[in-house]
């Protein structure tokens, strides 16, 4: 499983059926019955249980990006997106990075914050002293609520708190348990625990408890990816003379994102183009991922790019790194309902054995997407390839309306 080189020459030229055959030959766990599952899509009956006021099912293309090498292991990346340039750009950039050693990643443990808001307190300092005094028993109480999570090695590992002040309601305490959710996304578990904590906090602090919910800014759940590109790989000319010029232009683009919020927003959107496509394919909450990424990009007090890019002119190499919070999951009943998610897991193979492994793919995809966009912007411009790929969709659209 995953012991293959994920390069499939001419993959984009093949028909969908030929691509399936190519993937089945590489991804040993993907068989004909899995493609049949994908064709069945989401049954209306199941969709009705997944959401409210359901009247139908909305389909999107399910694609695969080859060429990725993450932590010295080849991987095929499933993507759900209607944007062809995202898939094409990822495959192209992944190939260039693979030729330079692939992506190297580091992913934190799956620890995330819950929040309990307490206001109307008579004495903030005394309330903090009470929390310190009863902290351990509160942790024990919360862990008794989640025996299955404890069996998997997770659970509440700490409780902290912060004193804040609002001109509307005055001083408040934010009580923040840290929960290791292991391979789950964690939202439901954390929300359940925060609501269970509410009466305990009310009794202990004698204050008014407001919100009891997780925080999607999971800066204790970071994912980092880095890669290098030689000037030779960046050059578009046959003599490979202009690679340093392209690298210099990419550095200039990064510099603009570092000082201009308008550019930084578009820069980070490019990163999320790829991450969202993997998140949808694997049944993860792309809305939460986007919120966390943009909030993290603002944590210094001003909004900036999530990447760091530098040049080593002596060795003729461009270095790039992406860091962002990633709360993703590979287990949960919701993931089992969607046939597309089940097929995506089969394609990913060992990269869904843990959420840390899946996060390593997603952060690599984010970095690849960003570099691909920057390279296009700094050479032919973003529209040349973008519109060429859109011409195929436009042709199909015209035929569809004609019928």
* Position 304 in a domain: yes
Query: Could you give the number of structural domains in the chain?
Result: 2
- Does residue 240 sit in the same domain as residue 372? yes
Residue 312 bears catalytic tag: no
The average pLDDT across 274-303 equals: 97
Which of helix, strand or coil describes residue 207? coil
Return the CATH number at 309: 3.90.770.10
**Distance (Å, whole) CA 214 – CA 221:** 13
> Nearest-CA neighbor of 223 among 292, 157, 284?
292
Choose the final residue of a domain: 179, 214, 249.
214
Same structural domain for residues 199 and 244?
no
Q: Of the residues 104, 269, 319, 321, which is catalytic? A: 269
- Residue positions counted in the chain: 403
Rounded-to-10 torsion of CA 239, 245, 251, 254: -80
Task: State whether 384 and 268 are in the same domain.
Answer: yes
Q: Does one domain contain both 158 and 36?
A: no
Q: What is the pLDDT of residues 350-394, one digit of tens each?
A: 999 999 999 999 999 999 999 999 999 998 765 555 555 555 555
Considering the domain architecture, whether residues 258 and 181 belong to the same structural domain is answered as no
Task: Give the β-pairing of 208-214 and 111-119.
Answer: antiparallel
| Same domain as 145, residue 20 | no
CB atoms within 10 A of CB 108: 16
Give a yes or no: residue 3 inside a domain. no
Tell me, yes or no, whether 2 lies in a domain: no
- 4: in domain: no
Residue 343 covered by a domain: yes
- Our answer to whether residue 269 is catalytic in this structure is yes
Of 261, 219, 263, 297, the closest CA to residue 374 belongs to 263
Q: Is 386 a catalytic residue?
A: yes
Half-sphere exposure of 25 (CA within 13 A, CB side): 11
Last residue of a domain, one of 168, 189, 214: 214
Residue matched to tokens 């009466």? 199
Distance CA 386, CA 389 (A): 6
In sequence order, what are the residues at sequence separation of 6 or more whose Cβ sits closer than 8 angstroms to the Cβ of residue 255? Answer: none
| 312 has pLDDT over 50 | yes
Asked if 148 and 36 sit in the same domain, the reply is no
pTM of the entire structure?
Answer: 0.91
Is 239 a residue whose pLDDT tops 70? no
What's the CATH code of the domain at 165? 3.30.70.420
CA–CA distance, 128 with 286 (Å, rounded to integer): 35
pLDDT tens digits, 320-351: 999 999 999 998 766 778 899 999 999 999 99
Catalytic residue among 180, 183, 276, 285: 285
Residue-level pLDDT at 3? 41
The model's pLDDT over 70-123, given as tens digits with 9 standing for 90+, comes to 999 999 999 999 999 999 999 999 999 999 999 999 999 999 999 999 999 999
List the domain range (segments joined by +) for residue 137.
111-214
Same domain, 92 and 123: no
If you average pLDDT over every residue of the chain, what do you get? 91
- Domain-ending residue, one of 187, 214, 241: 214
Task: Quick: pLDDT tens for 160-191.
Answer: 999 999 999 999 999 999 999 999 899 999 99
Q: Are residues 193 and 228 in the same domain?
A: no
Whether 273 is in a domain gets the answer yes
> Does 285 qualify as catalytic in the annotation?
yes
| 16, 74: one domain | yes
Are 309 and 198 part of one and the same domain? no
What pLDDT score was predicted for residue 267? 98
pLDDT of residue 7: 81
Residue 387 placed within a domain: yes
The pLDDT of residue 230: 94
| 318 falls within a domain | yes
Give the count of alpha carbons within 13 A of 31, CB side only. Answer: 2
Are 209 and 136 in the same domain? yes
């Amino acid at each position: 499983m995953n012991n293959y080189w994920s390069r499939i020459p001419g993959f984009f030229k093949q028909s969908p059926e030929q691509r399936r055959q190519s993937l089945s030959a590489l991804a040993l766990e993907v068989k004909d019955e899995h493609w049949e599952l994908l064709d069945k899509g989401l049954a209306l009956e199941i969709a009705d249980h997944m959401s409210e006021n359901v009247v139908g099912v909305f389909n999107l293309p399910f694609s695969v990006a080859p060429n990725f090498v993450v932590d010295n292991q080849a991987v095929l990346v499933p993507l759900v997106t209607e944007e062809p340039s995202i898939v094409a750009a990822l495959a192209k950039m992944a190939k260039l990075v693979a030729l330079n050693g692939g992506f190297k990643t580091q992913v934190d443990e799956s620890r995330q914050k819950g929040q309990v808001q307490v206001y109307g307190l008579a004495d903030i300092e005394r309330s903090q002293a009470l929390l310190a005094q009863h902290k351990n028993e509160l942790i024990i109480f919360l862990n008794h609520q989640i025996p299955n999570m404890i069996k998997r090695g997770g659970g509440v590992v700490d409780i902290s708190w912060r004193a804040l002040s609002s001109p509307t309601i005055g001083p408040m305490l934010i009580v923040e348990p840290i929960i290791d959710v292991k391979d789950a996304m964690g939202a439901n578990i954390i929300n359940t625990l925060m609501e269970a904590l509410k009466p305990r906090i009310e009794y202990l602090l004698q204050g008014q408890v407001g919100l009891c919910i997780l925080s999607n800014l999971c800066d204790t759940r970071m994912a980092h990816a880095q890669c290098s590109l030689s000037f030779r790989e960046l050059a578009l000319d046959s003599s490979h003379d202009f690679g340093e010029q392209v690298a210099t232009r990419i550095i200039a683009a990064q510099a603009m994102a570092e000082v201009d919020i308008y550019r930084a927003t578009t820069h980070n959107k490019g990163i999320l183009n790829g991450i969202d496509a993997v998140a949808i394919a694997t049944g993860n909450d792309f809305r939460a991922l986007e919120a966390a990424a943009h909030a993290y990009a603002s944590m210094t007090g001003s909004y900036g790019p999530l990447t760091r890019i530098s040049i080593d002119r002596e060795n003729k190499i461009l270095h790039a790194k992406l860091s962002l919070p990633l709360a993703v999951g590979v287990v949960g009943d919701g993931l089992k309902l969607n046939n597309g998610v089940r097929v995506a897991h089969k394609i990913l193979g060992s990269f869904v054995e843990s959420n840390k492994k899946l996060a390593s793919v997603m952060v690599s995809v984010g970095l690849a997407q960003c570099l691909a966009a920057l390279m296009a912007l700094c050479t032919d411009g973003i529209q040349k390839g973008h519109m060429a790929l859109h011409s195929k969709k436009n042709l199909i659209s015209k035929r569809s309306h004609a019928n």
